[in-house]
A and B are shown apart, each in its own frame.
Chain A
Amino acid sequence: MKTPMTTPRVAGTALDLDKVLGNPATRIIVCCGSGGVGKTTTAAALAVRAAEAGRSVVVLTIDPARRLAQSMGLSSLDNTPRSVSGVDGSAGGELHAMMLDMKRTFDEVVLAHATPERAAAILENPFYQSLSSSFSGTQEYMAMEKLGQLRAEDRWDLIVVDTPPSRSALDFLDAPQRLGSFLDGRFIRLLMGSARSGGRAYLKVLGAGLGAVTGLLTKILGAQVLKDVQTFVAALDTMFGGFRERADTTYRLLQAPGTAFVVVATPERDALREASYFVERLGEEGMPLAGLVLNRVHSGGAKSLSVERALAGAETLDESGGYPLAAGLLRLHAERARIHAREQQLRRRFTAAHPRVPVVDIPALAGDVHDLAGLREIGSALAGAAVQA
């Protein structure tokens, strides 16, 4: 692989997140990983910990399941940051939380960058309404937009972001570039040209064969849909430049030294595979990676008792018919030790492939976290306080 021939650090170096949180140079923390691994909880726990250590923090969640709202004891989160009560501000810190409302964010962008008449035309366009509320990629664009806005506001000294539950966690990184290449693309110019002049001028510029293309588009989409799309694109035309510029700025912001990416995974094959992919991708993009949070790790329990001995003991008891409690405990232990062994093997596989990526383990909890106390507990585990059994 691309690993240079210097002395590698010990596999699975400990990740010190308190150092990351406590460093005033850290301005943005991005939590990413596949769905269901605990990104939102991790982001919230980091935010609470940083705020209670004296930093002024805002946490942005993009998850539609309102899980952050639940875990922070808030009944609703809207598109503006709300102060989270119950956070200990004695160190001088504070915490705000917000949930991304992608439609509203999109509307705000339109209203801020278009003339009132044009904005009204855009907001009413059926194509826009569908794009702004139901397109699966809009979330990624709007997350970047909101992150850029929060950073530009410069009201908080730390922004913690929870990334969208994308089909691939990487969509978050690709969104600005995709938008950029689309806006630069000939297709959009063709659409805009057609809207302005019936397309003929642009067809000449772009060459032969395009008459067939427009004809085909009309045939597939129907004249009415094509007209809606064209009106929409033409109306957005004026604000596109600024849109892309800000997406580019945010992308560069993510590469800046003040940003720390935290990859979250559970000790499961799929989640760790996604995490590996993400770690490699962040490296390629020159994005600063803080490390891996390995969430919901099961400890092995009674260490000195092996799976085999526990099961053999349980069988002996089954045969004699005595001590059902001890037999149950031995089986319980065997199951737990097996899960522990499998998780440790997956963890080793990850650290062997990525020896330079620091890792911190968060122990599996019986229940879910839905209050600040729970978030604090996760926070201290994130800071490495968890004693491994």
Chain B
Amino acid sequence: MGSRESDWEGVRLHVVTGKGGTGKTTVAAALALALSGQGRRTLLVEIEDRQGIAQLFDVPPLPYEERKVAGGPGGGDVFALAVDAEAALLEYLDMFYKLGRAGRGLRRIGAIDFATTIAPGMRDVLLTGKIYEAVRRKRAGRPVYDAVVLDAPPSGRITRFLGVNQEVAGLAKVGPIRGQADSIMGLLTSPQTAVHLVTLLEEMPVQETCDAIGELTAAGLPVGGVVINAVRAPLLKQADLTAAAKGRLDPAVVRDGLAAAGVAFREGVVAALIDEAREHAVRVALEKSGRRTLKALNRPTYELPLLAEGVDLGGLYALAERLNQQGAA
């Protein structure tokens, strides 16, 4: 594995975001696999109660506990964790304040509910706090995880999510919360963090990628690479695409080709294939303009192929290899 150097040496926290429906979770999982080569240990974290990781790796739903979900391609390990805000809060309180009865008291009067669902941004504070803890955790003087990959909220909310501790710092001028918020912000704005954006070659996802990069940059958050997901292989030559778009493909040539291919076909098939080619050409043209827009962003860009049959575990390994080959990990 590792056909070339990683573009992200020194990055310990990979945040994977993107517009809804672009395949964030899939890319995060593939990146976690790609990062766990050569005996390395990666933690893949999800925070939105979807159990997307369990589905992808075909394992039972994840509890609030780090579990090994796959072996890395080069002998490493991928662990996964579904963070639950309430459990994270109780864990945090227990760790720092040695809560006994008072913890139960907090839950009884609804303070835990308040903190995890109602209080402004508190949920996001807890989630980022847990991620910070996982990145910083050490055993015998070395980090427990070589890298942490976060399947993050969608790009429309990512800047607010990562910046939530800034907000907290604004509310709490002093005290332990302030200290915690400052440490988390310190990690998130450092070169140890990279926020990667997943997109498709479609207008809205490309637009949202550009918007998100602008917002992240303005907030001082480190923008990582752009991952173009579900890319289709070019199947027609440029000249044929141009002709197809203009409806100028020659039915006679197609018919002869089918005959030479030994494909028995009914009459409508030639016209249907030409029509498919026209739709394809329109899409390819749009993809091209999307690629141009993304290129202008000047970020390291990686491409992952469309898996026509959907993503299974084998597909994830294939995507991980592509990421390795392109230097994403």
Contact = CB atoms under 8 A, between A and B. Distances in A.
Interface of A: 34-37, 63-65, 67, 126-127, 130-131, 134-138, 165, 167-168, 178-179, 181-182, 185-188, 190, 206, 209-210, 212-213, 216-217, 219-222, 224-225, 228, 266, 268-271, 273, 301-305, 309-310, 312-314, 316-317, 320, 322-333, 335-336, 338-339, 342, 366-368, 389
Contacts of B260: 316-317, 320, 322-323, 326
B97 A216 contact: yes
B109 A186 contact: yes
Contact of A316 (B93, B237, B240, B261): B261
Contacts of B153: 167
Contacts of A320: 260
B9 interface: no
Given A130-B121, A330-B263, A219 B310 contact: no
Contacts of B171: 126-127, 130, 225, 228
B133 interface: no
Given A324-B237, A326-B260, A178 B118 contact: yes
Contacts of A366: 279, 282-283, 286
B268 A224 contact: no
Nearest to B92: A220
A305 B99 CA distance: 67
B269 interface: yes
A266 B202 CA distance: 15
Contact of A329 (B173, B176, B236): B236
A130 B167 contact: yes
Nearest to B277: A329
Contact of B276 (A167, A220, A301, A326): A301
Contact of B170 (A36, A126, A168, A322): A126
A127 B256 CA distance: 73
Contacts of B176: 219-220, 222
A182 B272 contact: no
B78 to A, nearest CB: 20
Contacts, number: 243
Contact of A268 (B21, B232, B266, B274): B21
A325 B109 contact: no
B110 A329 contact: no
Nearest to A329: B273
Contacts of A36: 19-22, 154, 205
Interface in B12-62: 19-22, 25, 48-50, 52, 55
Nearest to B207: A65
A325 B120 contact: no
Interface string B48-83: 111010010000000000000000000000000000
A342 to B, nearest CB: 6
A313 B262 contact: yes
B308 A338 contact: yes
Interface stretch (B100-108, B139-147, B316-324): B100-108
Interface of A, secondary structure class, is: helix
Contacts of B309: 338, 342
Interface stretch (B156-164, B183-191, B219-227, B292-300): B156-164
Given A165-B154, A168-B50, A305-B265, A335 B308 contact: yes
A329 B265 CA distance: 14
Contact of A326 (B55, B254, B279): B254
Nearest to B311: A269
Interface of B: 19-22, 25, 48-50, 52, 55, 93, 97, 99, 101-102, 105-106, 108-111, 113-114, 117-121, 123-124, 153-154, 156-157, 160, 164, 167, 170-178, 202-205, 208, 211, 232, 235-237, 240, 249, 253-254, 256-258, 260-263, 265-266, 268-269, 272-277, 279-280, 282-283, 286, 308-310
Contact of A168 (B49, B114, B156, B175): B49
Given A167-B49, A329-B254, A302 B97 contact: no
A255 B50 CA distance: 26
A263 B140 CA distance: 51
Given A35-B21, A182-B118, A222 B272 contact: no
A144 B180 CA distance: 34
B123 A136 contact: yes
Contacts of A325: 236-237, 240, 249, 253-254, 257
Nearest to A268: B21
B111 A187 contact: yes
A302 B268 contact: yes
Contacts of B235: 328, 331-332, 335
Nearest to A39: B20
Nearest to B52: A270
B257 A213 contact: no
9 contacts: A34-B20, A63-B156, A135-B120, A220-B97, A222-B174, A270-B25, A304-B268, A314-B261, A326-B254
A338 B101 CA distance: 58
A162 to B, nearest CB: 13
B266 A304 contact: yes
B110 A35 contact: no
Contacts of B240: 325, 328
B21 A302 contact: no
Given A182-B118, A342-B308, A136 B124 contact: yes
B120 A368 contact: no
A186 B110 CA distance: 7
B101 A209 contact: yes
B184 to A, nearest CB: 16
Nearest to A307: B308
Given A222-B174, A323-B260, A302 B106 contact: no
A221 B177 contact: yes
